[in-house]
Amino acid sequence: MSEIEFEKKLQAHETSIPGLIVYNLPVHGDNRGWFKENWQREKMIAIGLPDFGPVQNNISFNAKRGVTRGIHAEPWDKYISIATGRIFGAWVDLREGDNFGKVFTTELDPSKAIFVPRGVGNAYQALEDNTTYTYMVNDHWSAKAQSKYVFLNLADKTVNIKWPTPLNQAELSDKDKLHPALTDVVPMKPKKTLIIGSKGQLGNALQVEFPDAECVDRDTFDLSDPKILNARNWNQYDLILNAAAYTAVDQAETDEGRINVWQCNAAALINLSVISNSYGVTLVHISTDYVFNGTTLEHSETESFSPINVYGQTKAAGDIAIATATKHYIVRTSWVIGNGNNFVKTMKSLAEKGIKPSVVNDQIGRLTFTTDLARGIKHLINKQANYGIYNLTGDGQNVSWADIAKEVYKLTGYNKNDVTGVSTTQYYTGKIGIAPRPLQSTLILDKIKATGFVPRDWHESLIEYLNKEENSEVL
């Protein structure tokens, strides 16, 4: 006990292994002994400890100096502290990546603790008799979970750990003596990413940016079903990208459509927020300018909801549900164009058929191409930007649908004057079952630009998109 540093300030110290953090713990001593706050969530989160959500606490008693355990990399995070005695601890990064095989060693006594992220191999050797080693983890142990461990031999010559008690004199289990060398270790893969709505235009683009993601769609993954809360081992996921939505704006005004759109765009998202909060999964959700009435020339992330149709109402309600998740990004966009049926393809087809369409000229905004939208989402994740709402569309001049139609005609070699601009009122005259549309859809992009992401000019993206369409038709 004499070696414990009493009354030490709570401090966090990064190590040479990313995510592996050593903590100094205040220990208060007097003639009776000592006391410490071994785990204090609020204080530790404030100085950088991940809010990792422990669910199991374990204690390992080591009767003799020289008892040695490890090296085990587990599929969960771990917070280690010492109750009595001292250890020499060794940690080896066994995750995929450039740091694979990197080693960090230090001594721990009751005045220190260490946070060990998933996939970092953990080992220790008792430096005193009667050493009690405690640790909390954020998943429950099971034989099935143990099958996903990554093991490394304690005596591996590549990592070359300098054990205080030579291993030939230490107490080891037979299993720990038989673990493989580093050259034979299969690194632990990162946690999983799930794309919901993978068959849609954005879902296809997200698969390009997140090629290792699992992909599901509404026909195989019903967000509204409470069973999804236990459908997967969500502890093994760290990112959910929700690109699924009911987007039939006019159909949403019907009795049947109203039921479906509220279920899909609003009620079902409560389940996603529960998963996110329960397992610490980062949640990305796609929102829309339709949550506004379109009377403001440009919309910021802080503007209050004012939807003018059922679809917009459900998307606003969905944003509220998603915002209950601590780790969430709501990416608000508009006028989305990707692989599949969309406005640009329709105009190109009409031009090729010699049709002279009437297109609304009083709805103003900017196109957003799914390739750019997916890149922006990946940027937010990689940058670890602050959670919250981000507007993300194409940049450039604000234009009408008629302006875009004229540009498509021009870029595909047809006469842009074949497009006639009309007001929204004129366009829908005589039509029934039409939902009202916002007239101003331009979103302010300052917030996402401040993170270092520069949205492309929508016109530049349009040219690239049409060139790809032309090349694919030739092929």
The string of pLDDT tens digits covering residues 403-423 is: 999 999 999 999 999 999 999
pLDDT (0 to 100) of residue 6 = 75
Residue 456 CB contacts under 8 Å (≥ 6 apart), including other chains? 369, 372, 394, 395
- Count of other CB atoms within 10 angstroms of residue 95: 22
Catalytic choice (23, 79, 133, 135): 135
In a domain, 23, yes or no: yes
Pairing state between β 33-36 and 27-30? antiparallel
In a domain, 356, yes or no: yes
Q: How many domains does the chain have?
A: 2
In a domain, 145, yes or no: yes
Alpha carbons 167 and 124: distance in angstroms, whole number: 12
Structure tokens of 462? Answer: 């349009």
Structure tokens of 59? Answer: 């204690």
Contact 431, 422 (CB under 8 A): no
Among residues 251, 256, 273, the alpha carbon closest in space to that of 319 is found at 273
Catalytic: 135? yes
Element housing 209 (H / E): helix 201-209
- How far is CA 454 from its chain centroid? 20
Residues 157 and 208 in one domain: no
3-class SS of residue 344: helix
In a domain, 1, yes or no: no
3-class SS of residue 188: strand
Among residues 332, 303, 333, the alpha carbon closest in space to that of 319 is found at 332
In a domain, 5, yes or no: no
Residues 368 and 397 in one domain: yes
The model's pTM is 0.86
Residues 290 and 354 in one domain: yes
pLDDT (0 to 100) of residue 474 = 44
Residues 110 and 196 in one domain: no
Identify the bridge partners of residue 136 per DSSP, sorted by sequence position.
Answer: 57, 79
Among residues 184, 209, 231, which one ends one of the domains?
Answer: 184
Residues 164 and 229 in one domain: no
Residues 56 and 203 in one domain: no
Residues 201 and 157 in one domain: no
CATH of the domain at 238: 3.40.50.720
Torsion angles phi and psi, residue 24, rounded to 5? -85, 130
Residue 164 CB contacts under 8 Å (≥ 6 apart), including other chains? 88, 125, 127
pLDDT (0 to 100) of residue 467 = 92
Contact 19, 119 (CB under 8 A): no
Among residues 71, 69, 68, 67, the alpha carbon closest in space to that of 152 is found at 71
pLDDT (0 to 100) of residue 150 = 96
> What residue ranges in 203-339 does DSSP mark as E strands?
214-216, 237-242, 282-288, 328-333, 336-337
Residue 257 CB contacts under 8 Å (≥ 6 apart), including other chains? 246, 248, 251, 310
Among residues 135, 163, 184, which one ends one of the domains?
Answer: 184
In a domain, 6, yes or no: no
Q: Which residues of 278-308 are buried (b: 16+ CB within 10 A; e: fewer)?
A: ebbbbbbbbbbbbbbbbeeeebebebeeebb
pLDDT digits (tens, 9 = 90+) for 357-409: 999 999 999 999 999 999 999 999 999 999 999 999 999 999 999 999 999 99
Torsion angles phi and psi, residue 369, rounded to 5? -90, 140
**Domain around 365:** 192-474
Write the CA distances from 350 to 227, 364, 406, 423, integer angstroms. 45, 22, 11, 20
In a domain, 3, yes or no: no
Residues 180 and 269 in one domain: no
Contact 70, 90 (CB under 8 A): yes
pLDDT under 70: residue ranges of the chain: 1-3, 470-475
CATH of the domain at 44: 2.60.120.10
pLDDT (0 to 100) of residue 1 = 41
pLDDT (0 to 100) of residue 20 = 97
Contact 127, 171 (CB under 8 A): no
Residues 255 and 395 in one domain: yes
- Count of other CB atoms within 10 angstroms of residue 51: 12
Contact 76, 58 (CB under 8 A): no
Residues 173 and 226 in one domain: no
How big is the CA angle at 369 (ends 365 and 375), to the nearest 5 degrees? 120
Alpha carbons 242 and 286: distance in angstroms, whole number: 7
In a domain, 236, yes or no: yes
Among residues 163, 184, 205, which one ends one of the domains?
Answer: 184
Residues 201 and 116 in one domain: no
Residues 259 and 370 in one domain: yes
Catalytic choice (72, 328, 379, 459): 72
